[in-house]
Copies of this chain bind each other. A is one copy, B any other.
Amino acid sequence: MIPRYTRPEMASIWEPQTRFKIWFEIEAHAADALAELGTIPKQAAKTVWEKAKNATFDVARIDEIERETKHDVIAFLTHLAEIVGPDARFVHQGMTSSDVLDTCLNVQLTRAADLLLADLDKVLAALKKRAFEHKMTPTIGRSHGIHAEPVTFGLKLAYAYAEFSRAKERLIAARKEVATCAISGAVGTFAQIDPRVEAHVAKAMGLVPEPISTQVIPRDRHAMYFSTLGVIASSVERLAVEIRHMQRTEVLEAEEFFSEGQKGSSAMPHKRNPVLSENLTGLSRMVRAYVTPALENVVLWHERDISHSSAERMMAPDATVTLDFALVRLAGLIDKLLVYPANMQKNLDRLGGLVHSQRVLLALTQKGASREDAYKLVQRNAMPVWRGEGDFLQLLKKDAEVKKHLSDAEIEEQFDLGYHLKHVDTIFKRVFGES
């Protein structure tokens, strides 16, 4: 998490002020419930809200107290007492620090998920818009980096749309994983606090009670959350790499938008580099990097150890801020992507008709050639074309053995581009629900 790759909306979730605000809300809601149960005076709970609801917490002061006590929640509570006065002693009754810390972390992670979901919607909207724009723009499909058969540029974006739709479903599930609250005391037994307090706080904070906690909310939930971010980052990288490929000098089927004043290279003024998608590639690596510590964090000792804490203080902001930045960058990149249909057509024509080889193969077998023979016939005519020696259509027409099975007209029929695109509508309907 560095300013360069940070959006303020996401960063603010992780700021100390936000954290203290959430801590306060958890404590104050808990006080309400405790008052309702008669454990503490109702007036005390009311005072807490009144005195601190609109307070700005003094982060420097809290840090100062923490330096002495070496305990963050106690430092906060001490500062809260400075704001609230004597009634502050009724706050945090029967609770343990982790009740506050873990519930707060989950509030932050669900808010982060909400932002990321909005980001995904931006990516999806951009992909959909451009996909329909280029629904029937022919381009070559490639496997192994080698020309295969025609697709459309719209289909390429539809692939990505389907992938990011899955990303969204996964993120909704991941959000649900961490949308839990625990106010269960030092070892999760509710010994000192009634489970109804937890129920009240959970509801007030938009969470559900953790069925069983052990001072901490179990970290398999967070592991699932960060793993999901890692999978989404990989999808970001996939699309970024697609764009980098399309922008290669020899391919040049699309380009990142290049603003006035932008300089591609300090040394080579002509260069227009896919720097945004390369950047997304690197950012994806970072988001993925946090998956492993998140998995390692699951293995806490007994009812809890605090080894997860330092890792989470770094990776929770880092992973969410970085993915947020990446998704928004990706949405803009797709939205403004320069697309070059003429170059796509040029590339499509490059292989002298070889992209139709499979159709010829199929036609031969349908006319009675064995699959093995058909393969050999096609391959012996394809190889010279591949070496730049001749045109596939002409060579086939001159091959006597091919002619035993197919007439000239029948051969030509296999070279129809439209043939490849006849199911684009079907596919669009499957992906977008419309075509």
Contacts and interface: CB of A to CB of B under 8 A. Distances in A.
Nearest to A283: B310
Contacts of A241: 299, 301
A305 B285 contact: no
B166 A221 contact: yes
A21 interface: no
Contacts of A286: 293, 310-311, 314-315
Contact of A270 (B71, B145, B369, B385): B385
A47 interface: no
A278 B290 contact: no
Given A151-B303, A241-B299, A426 B195 contact: yes
B279 A288 contact: no
A404 interface: no
B148 A271 contact: yes
Interface stretch (A102-110, A122-130, A261-269): A261-269
B361 A431 contact: no
Interface string A139-170: 01111111111110001001100110011001
* Interface residue range, chain A: 35 or more
Interface in A87-105: 88-90, 92-97
Interface string A201-243: 0000000010110110010110110011011011101100110
A144 B271 contact: yes
A296 B298 contact: no
A435 interface: no
A267 B185 contact: yes
Given A93-B365, A151-B303, A299-B238, A282 B269 contact: no
Interface string A284-308: 0110111111011111111111111
A285 B420 CA distance: 35
B283 A358 contact: no
Contact of A263 (B69, B186, B268, B317): B69
B289 A215 contact: no
A262 to B, nearest CB: 4
B220 A97 contact: no
A434 interface: no
Nearest to A277: B307
A416 to B, nearest CB: 10
Nearest to A173: B173
A30 interface: no
Interface stretch (A49-57, A112-120, A244-252): A244-252
Given A187-B141, A211-B431, A234-B223, A301 B423 contact: no
A435 to B, nearest CB: 12
State the number of copies, please: 4
A111 interface: no
Interface in A392-406: 392
A351 interface: yes
A247 B303 CA distance: 16
Interface in A165-196: 166-167, 170, 173, 177, 185-192, 195
A312 to B, nearest CB: 8
A144 B192 CA distance: 20
A261 B67 CA distance: 10
A281 interface: yes
26 contacts: A71-B264, A143-B303, A143-B304, A144-B304, A145-B302, A150-B187, A151-B188, A155-B212, A159-B218, A163-B218, A173-B173, A185-B267, A189-B420, A212-B430, A220-B231, A227-B230, A230-B291, A233-B295, A234-B296, A238-B299, A269-B375, A270-B392, A278-B305, A278-B309, A291-B292, A318-B318
- A-B pairs, 6 with minimum CB distance: A141-B187, A270-B382, A282-B310, A144-B273, A234-B298, A281-B307
